[in-house]
Amino acid sequence: MNIRLLWRERVLIGLLISSGVVLALLSDVFLTPANLLRATRYAAEIGLVALPMTMIIISRGIDLSVASNMALSAMAMGLLWQRGLPIWPAVAIGVVTGTLAGWLNGWVIARVRVPAIVVTLATLAVYRGIATGLSGGTGILGFPESFLALGAGTVAGIPVQTVIWIAGIVIAAVFLTRTTNGRYIYGIGHNETALRFSGIAVDRIVLGLYTASGFVAALAGMIYAARVGTAKSNAAAGYELSIITAVVLGGTSLAGGEGTLVGTVLGVLILTILQNGLTLARVPAAMQDVLIGTVLLAAVLTYRERPMRKEVSAQSTSQPAPRRAAGRAMSDPENTLAAGEERRKP
């Protein structure tokens, strides 16, 4: 399994480098430090939410409500600030709002046992509708500079949100690879029933995953509002598809039980540089979608080809050699039918 994951990561690194080279030839601005730093600002928002999304998909779940949660959290923060609450307490309550929304998803999925795709598809509409109703269809502007620095400031020349993303990657990687619950996440994706019979609190882990997804989505919603300078109900529209695309591109299986955070980070970076570079090259938006979809399909097919080739090779090498008697090959009794089928082939 480790070899296969390393193969996937090598494919992604090669894809990232080759895409960068091609895009650099299409635009002189692409490889400039200013543009690359600007691109990481967009990558951080998707990349942050992709971290818990990776764990959720590994556990054979999905969260389609993350973008709507980002908008709901930002609107809650903006309305509280507009009504006189200081900005940072308003931000804290906005993050709590998103965390509770994620907890609600997890509670219905884990306790009521409704499929995750049904629950989060419903809350995708519900959370976005609540945000629209709260806003009255208008955005909230005029946030203080201290808050806007969250989306436009830098730390030692690195965007603030990129620093937050890097910290999130480290925390998520330690949890997924170095803790017992992290290993149980893979177990849930492989065989949830076996874990339940082993006495593992599967429901508690699932509830924690969706709560963490809500918390991170709310944090990303604050960063988004600070970057664009406004809280609005249509914020981050369509982000859920970009996030899931990055996770799947990174090699996480929608069937569950398989995936790495390294692959997800590489998937986010590939999507970001493709969107950034193609925009700089003045490629139409519709064509960008076609190219990015083609890259995703090609990468997934490459992932599948290597394991299948290794499996075929392993099967061929494990075939027992035919015994020989009086100069003739003798087949094992259980292989007689297969040998007969082989002889009938032209």
Q: Would the CA dihedral through 29, 31, 33, 36 be positive or negative?
A: positive
- Pairwise CA distance, residues 189 & 203, whole Å: 13
Q: Which among 186, 223, 148, 228 has a CA at the least distance from the CA of 59?
A: 186
Residue 343 placed within a domain: no
Residue 331 placed within a domain: no
* pLDDT per residue rounded down to tens, the chain (346 residues): 344 455 788 888 988 999 999 999 998 999 999 899 889 998 999 999 999 999 999 999 999 999 999 999 999 999 999 999 999 999 999 999 999 999 999 999 999 999 999 999 999 999 999 999 988 878 999 999 999 999 999 998 899 999 999 999 999 999 999 999 999 999 999 999 999 999 999 999 999 999 999 999 999 999 999 999 999 999 999 899 999 999 999 989 899 999 999 999 999 999 999 999 999 999 898 888 898 888 888 877 876 655 544 444 444 444 444 444 444 444 444 344 344 444 334 3
Residue 287 placed within a domain: yes
* CATH code of the domain covering residue 192: 1.10.3470
Q: Which domain holds residue 26?
A: 2-315
Residue 334 placed within a domain: no
- If one counts the domains in the chain, the total is 1
Residue 329 placed within a domain: no
Residue 335 placed within a domain: no
